[in-house]
Structure 1
Amino acid sequence: MSLLDDLADVGRAPGGGYARHGFDRAEAEMRDWFREQAGRRGLDVETDRNGNLWAWWGTPGPDALVTGSHLDSVPGGGAFDGPLGVISALEAVSRMDRPARPFAVIVFTEEEGGRFGVPCLGSRLLTGALAPDRARALRDADGVTLAEAAASAGVDPVHIGRDEEALSRIGTFVELHVEQGRGLDVPVGVGSTVIEHGRWRFSFMGEGNHAGTTVLGDRHDPMLPAAETVLATRRIASTVDARATVGRLVPHPGGTNVIPSTVDLWLDARGHSRDVVAELTGVAERAAAAEGCTLTVTEESYSGTVTFDPTLRDRLTDLLGAPELPTGAGHDAAVLAAHAPTAMLYVRNPTGISHAPEEFAEDTDIEAGVVALTRVLESLSR
């Protein structure tokens, strides 16, 4: 808990919660803290070509046992999402004997996608799931490209992309994370699956004009089809048992007395997500045409359903006597699952709230999570 307390004031958001995003000042402070804590435990920290941090216990090598998570947050996120996995990994190191196989604690860059819009950015680049040219061109809300942000943080954007050397070192990956729903009635669970999910940008283009002098019949207001799309999202998702959310909507130029010329909204859809997008696109196109506007839909990220390595999963459930837990939340472990055996441990969240300041875990459950992670790592390290 003292390690969580170390980070309590880093990146606090004005409206509550935290704002810690890839290559920004708050994340840099978090990363400096990680380097210092890893050094206290005798770990040697290196940064890979994509900005991910690796803290090695002894000599780096192939077939390594790797654990860790991320330190960034969504806008207004909670204190546990990401940092709990990193802190638990550091605490497990303090309790373990030196492993017989290569061992590392990793911190992935920009897992949440809170700055550049693509989740699991560090692991997607590492594995080649995200093309380097596309990544370099990503822009944040202020127009700063990922290439510019990475360079300012000391990561050469020329070299980002699939890293065969780093990827080949991962023999097994285990990630601990706070539960992001309310599916556990015991302190710790073992991950079974991550449902498919994606993010799409709906861009409505109309005609900017004066809010006071333009009569309603002369308007081509993109806000109207955008609003119809937002309302249709839940209706369509409910018919196919999906989870769909519009969490961000940006009008341009954004003046109170200005009819916007464009409106962008971002859809997060999970479970039957492409069915949702196909039907929603039809609704949005018809609404745009009725208002004399046009529409462009762009897929920004997509991940299919991931089933964690069954042999590793069963080993963990037997070792811990813990239940299996599916999730609708994406994780770096899910990205790595196509390249190495991966597993996840979840620590109970009694509020069931995540991606918000009310996210929580009891001290006793956090301790149970550390004990469970330590047991797992000791078992896998032999």
Structure 2
Amino acid sequence: MTAVKLLAEIAEIGRDPQRGGYSRPVFSAPELELRAWFTAAAAARGLDVEVDRNGALWAWLDAPHGEREEVVITGSHLDSVPGGGAYDGPLGVVSGLDALDRIKQRGHRLRRALAVVVFPEEEGSRYNQACLGSRLMVGELAPEKARALTDSAGVTFAELAARHGLDPERIGADPERMRSIAAFVELHVEQGKGLVHLDAPVAVATSILGHGRWQLRLEGEGNHAGTTPMDDRRDPVVAAAQIILAIREEAEKIPEARATIGNLIPVPGGTNVIASAVDMWMDVRHLDDAVVRRLVSAVETRAHQIAAAEGCRFTLAENSYSPTVTFDVALQQRMQELLPGAPLLPTGAGHDAGVLAAHVPSAMLFVRNPGGVSHAPAEHAGDADIEEGVQALVTVLEDLSR
């Protein structure tokens, strides 16, 4: 069954009637349904499925000798942002299954085992930790920090992991598994218009912008909306509005910088209540890690000034940071030789491949997104381009498995 047909099989899982698109946070009912679907789809192809200590799913096509050393892996994730598109993550998973199926059917003699991996909590939409599963595996995220993470309902990651069959005490770095990986190639829908401008269906990734997440908290004075005069308020929502504009102004001063407030929660959140606090989460990106830090520092300075003027208190805390990644140059060059029509393309979006790149040779393939929209319902990839992506992935995996 082709990648296009596999996508159709999961098209109704996790649809969000309020936001549009899909909402599939890690270990939610929709994401669990997708995990069960993946396990069954892999088993139907004769692949051996396992769950690792951090909750990642692995579907194996073993070489004749049966050893899982110097293995080549592909895959992506099945969780989504709130109201996300159908292709971000799932396209890489279904393309991996399709690719291994084709390699098996063609009777290609493997010298290295191949696997499709599904990493959990790539988007960080439940615990605000992007690439949580892959960062745990490589040792970039301390297990004690991961266990203590709390979602909006107050459920810790340790509690959630235990609820779904994982041992919270065993999550964390997996050096033995990391030593076994010879290469990781992640296929992903492009999250921009680069391939549209290049008029190509598939590209080889070169780099990922450095990016991080910060929590901004403003504390004021909760009060009655009807009885409190305008000149006697310490309103954190007013300060938050000014800070959001200041963030845009600071980012616009720096070429190619990106800064976004995508999540804002007033406390307690009543229409007739002056909020006592506001929590906001900021995403900042730039190719130069020092520029990211400089931009965050400028935002922090201005936010303190704005908060003080409104009689509020401001604090900033870093949730996560991923430095700029340049993918393995030798692997890039080899993929260009194998795929002579595929251009090179950088990206501003983070991926599990970016996490693994510091530890094993890693690469990415991008499939054209005709509208350039991602993290939204309008995200798309055409059937013909998906087929081109699978064929490119087969070519690369077959070569690496030799």
Give the TM-score of the pair, scaled to structure 2.
Answer: 0.93
Deviations 1:352-372 (A, max 9, x none): 000000000111000000000
Q: Within 2, Cα distance between the matches of 1:154 and 1:251?
A: 35
| Distance in 2 of aligned mates of 1:24 and 1:273 | 33
Q: Is the 8 A contact 1:53 1:107 kept in 2?
A: yes
For residue 252 of structure 1, what is the amino acid of its counterpart?
V
What is the aligned partner in structure 1 of residue 58 from structure 2? 54
1:229-276: CA deviations, max 9, x gaps? 111111111111201110000011111111111101110010132222
Instruction: Select which of 376, 379, 390 maps to 1:359.
Output: 379
Q: SS in structure 1 opposite 2:315?
A: strand
Tell me how far 1:283 sits from its aligned partner. 1.0
1:185-196 to structure 2, matched below 5 A, reads 185-196=199-210
Relative to structure 1, the CA distance from residue 98 to residue 44 in structure 2 (aligned partners, 3 Å threshold; closer, same or farther) is: farther
Cα distance in 1 between the residues matched to 2:350 and 2:156: 24
What do the CA deviations read for 1:138-189 (whole angstroms, capped 9, x no partner)? 1222222111211111112121111112222211000000000000120000
Residue 199 (structure 1) aligns with:
213
SS of the aligned residue for 1:302 comes to strand
Q: CA deviation at 1:217?
A: 2.4
Q: Distance in 2 between matches of 1:44 and 1:28?
A: 19
Alignment partner of 1:227 is 2:230: no
Q: Deviations over 1:94-113 (max 9, x none)?
A: 11125211221100001001
Q: Does 1:135 align with 2:142?
A: no
Query: What RMSD in Å do the two structures reach over aligned CA positions?
Result: 1.0
- Residue of structure 2 in register with 1:164 after alignment: 175
Cα-to-partner distance string for 1:77-105 (whole Å, 9 max, x where unaligned): 00000000000000001111252112211
> SS state of the match for residue 41, structure 2?
helix
**Contact map agreement 1:64 1:101 (CA 8 A) in 2:** yes
Aligned to 2:35: 31
Distance of 1:154 and 1:259 partners within structure 2? 43
What is the correspondence of 1:272-283 to structure 2 with a 5 Å cutoff? 272-283=291-302
Aligned to 1:307: 326
CA distance in 2 between partners of 1:37 and 1:199 (Å): 35
Report which stretch shifted further, 37-46 or 325-334. 37-46
Counterpart residue number, 2:7? 4
Distance (whole Å) between structure 2 residues aligned to residue 276 and residue 109 of structure 1: 30
1:180 aligned to 2:191? yes
Amino acid at match of 2:9: D
Whole-Å Cα distance in 2 between the matches of residues 206 and 278 of structure 1? Answer: 22
Q: Distance in 1 between matches of 2:321 and 2:142?
A: 13
How far apart in 2 are the matches of 1:100 and 1:227?
58
Give the aligned residue type for 1:4. L
Which residue number in structure 2 is paired with residue 16 of structure 1? Answer: 20
Alignment of 1:215-254 (within 5 A): 215-241=229-255, 242-254=257-269
Of the structure 1 ranges 132-141 and 115-124, higher mean CA displacement relative to structure 2 is found in 132-141
Q: Does residue 107 in structure 1 map to residue 118 in structure 2?
A: yes
Measure, in 2, the Cα distance between the counterparts of 1:44 and 1:262: 50
Amino acid at match of 2:185: V
- After TM superposition, give the deviation of residue 218 of structure 1 in Å: 2.1
State yes or no: 1:93 paired with 2:100.
yes
Structure 2 residue aligned with 1:324, among 312, 330, 344? 344
Q: CA deviation at 1:60?
A: 5.1
SS of 1:269 mapped into structure 2: strand
The percentage of counterpart residues that share the same residue type is 58
Displacement of 1:67 after TM fit? Answer: 0.7
Cα deviation per residue 1:273-310 (whole Å; 9 max; x = unaligned)?
Answer: 22221111111100111111111100111111100000
Could you tell me which amino acid in structure 2 is paired with residue 38 of structure 1? A
How high is the TM-score relative to the length of structure 1?
0.98
Contact 1:48 1:166 in 2 (8 A): no
Map 1:110-121; keep pairs closer than 5 Å: 110-121=121-132
Partner AA of 1:204 in structure 2: L
Aligned letter for 2:11? Answer: A
One-letter amino acid of the counterpart of residue 283, structure 2: D
1:380 Cα offset (Å): 0.7
Residue number in structure 1 paired with 2:163: 152
